[in-house]
Amino acid sequence: MTPPVRCALIGAAGQLGFDLARTFDLPGELVRLTHADLDLLDAQATARVLRGLRPTLVVNTAAYNQVDRAEDDHAAAFALNAEAVGALADVCDSLGATLVHFSTDYVFDGRRARPYNEDDAPGPLSRYGESKLAGERLALAGGRRAFVFRVCGLFGVARSAGKGGTNFVETMLRLAREGRAIRVVRDQVLTPSYTLDLAPKVWRVVARGRHGLYHLTNAGATSWYDFAREIFRLSGLTPDLAVVALGPGAFVVSPGLGDLLLGLLDQRLRVGRDLAALRLLDEILGLLDDDGAVERPRRRSDGHEQAQDEDDRDACHAPPPPELRGMVKR
């Protein structure tokens, strides 16, 4: 039987953090921490907050996730994705707490024809990927009691601050309703993953207590363009949608640096929900208010959730597509 935990969830209002919070099912207590409660870039304040909470489990979903900007702003990317992770791991060690951290498929160069597994040597092509790989290594250094989950193409109901306070589904629905011309890339293929599918699997792996590195995704693969096309089919909208071709007034969705070479993670822990997009659209359409905003959870003083409409900059790396019926499968 799993002993009770006191879990501190960092980035609780981001896409992944939101779904980790609402699926938490370990025995014990969950403490939700947003950026207002804890700023990982302030190592001393982070240590002070965590020592006050005395957690036995610390789950970190905070990340610098602006892939293109990291090429010029790599110091900021490394500060949050690597240095802050190392400092957090040190605090966890001092408290005897287990650390759960999240990384990305960007640690690979994407040149393999097959999906990557945990034993494959990383080779990031971008500053963002380098910063995430450095964070992985710091989290796991010295045989620490830590879990690192590499994820790919996250999307969810909660909005991602790193992508302008929204996610791909919400952006497509909004642009279609505004009557905008939409141009989306089709040459990026990845394994997209719904955060509400992944979150329960995270808790299940953590409960087993087998520390180490894991790849965790949904099943299947698709392009951003095919994802957008399916969103509009399911929602009954018929916007001006085409494969990317720059033109006046068009909204262009393009991949970040290195996206064209991204490799698919080996889906050893894949969740594999064929109807993930249908469930996501149902949730988003059900939560949209008259202004197109999505209600978000807010942490009250008693630790429970209540609705709010605000963003949190601690979102994990963010939007695109899920496995959808009628799309490309591998």
Residues that are catalytic: 128
Which tokens in the block code for residue 107?
């640690």
The residue to which tokens 């969950």 are assigned: 30
User: Would the CA dihedral through 277, 198, 130, 11 be positive or negative?
Assistant: positive
Q: Which of 196, 201, 218 is nearest to 287 (CA)?
A: 196
User: Would the CA dihedral through 287, 289, 293, 296 be positive or negative?
Assistant: negative
What are the DSSP E strand ranges found in 105-167?
Answer: 146-151, 154-155
How does 208-239 read in b/e, with b if 16+ C-beta sit within 10 Å? eeebebbbbbbbbbbbbbbbbbbbbebbeeeb
Instruction: Give the whole-angstrom CA distance, residue 136 versus residue 147.
Output: 9
At residue 164, the 3 state secondary structure works out as coil
User: Would the CA dihedral through 60, 62, 68, 69 be positive or negative?
Assistant: negative
Which tokens in the block code for residue 115?
């999906």
